[in-house]
Structure formats: C-alpha cells, structure tokens
Amino acid sequence: MDFGFGTFLTSPSLTAFLVLDCLKLWLVATGGAGGILLSTLDTNLDALHRAIASLVAAPKLGDLEEEHLLENFHSSRTIRRLVLDCPAFASILWKKALKGKSEKWAQGHRCNSDGHKITQ
C-alpha cells in the first residue's frame, strides 16, 4: 500500500503545512485522540505503520542534499513522537527499519567533549 508519505514527510518548501501534516499523520497513526479511530482503522492502521517503517528503512537515494526521513527536522520528530506514543508502531519500526542498524544511526549523532558533532 503506497500512502505517498515520502514527499509528505520531507517537503522542504512547505514547512508550515508540513508541521500541520506531520501532526495529522501522528494523530491518525496513533489511533486518534483517546483511540477513537482504532476500531475504524483496524488493519489499515497496521498498514500505515508498515508503510512509514518502509520509508524509514529505505536507503537515502538521489542527490546528497536530499534528507533521509530520520535526518529531516520535521519527519524525525514526528517519527520520534510516534515511537513514544504508539508501542505498536515502535515495534514495527524497530523490526522493519532499525534492527541491526543502530551503529549507523548512532554514528551520525556522536559529539566530542565540546558538544560538537563528530563527522567521519
């Protein structure tokens, strides 16, 4: 199922709309306020979680300026919030996109004793 979230989550030209759209995505992916959408979405919610995890698992393609979903300011925060608020999504994300790749992502976030990012 292709939800078209790759562009949705990383569009740099529509920052204000992106923040709102990421909020909408988070709200739907967590089942809505108070879980109101859980019974309606049922299996579609699992498909949405898998679609987002597939996008995160995809390698960075294209030009060097294109950000990966975990590198983009808005999408990485949306994914972080989903992980914190939705254990089902966190499990799918771990299994599909992150398991065995921790070192790769941790390397991008190491800092020296001065707090400056270490680049390799």
pLDDT digits (tens, 9 = 90+) for 64-114: 677 788 877 778 888 999 999 999 999 999 999 989 887 766 665 555 555
Single-letter amino acid code for the residue at 25: L
Task: Read off the DSSP letter of residue 65.
Answer: T
pLDDT tens, residue by residue, 19-66: 667 888 888 889 888 888 888 887 888 998 999 999 889 887 766 677
Q: Residue 59 phi/psi, 5° resolution?
A: -70, 155
| CA 1 remoteness from chain centre | 17
Handedness of CA 42, 43, 46, 52 (dihedral sign): negative
Domain boundaries, the chain: 5-107
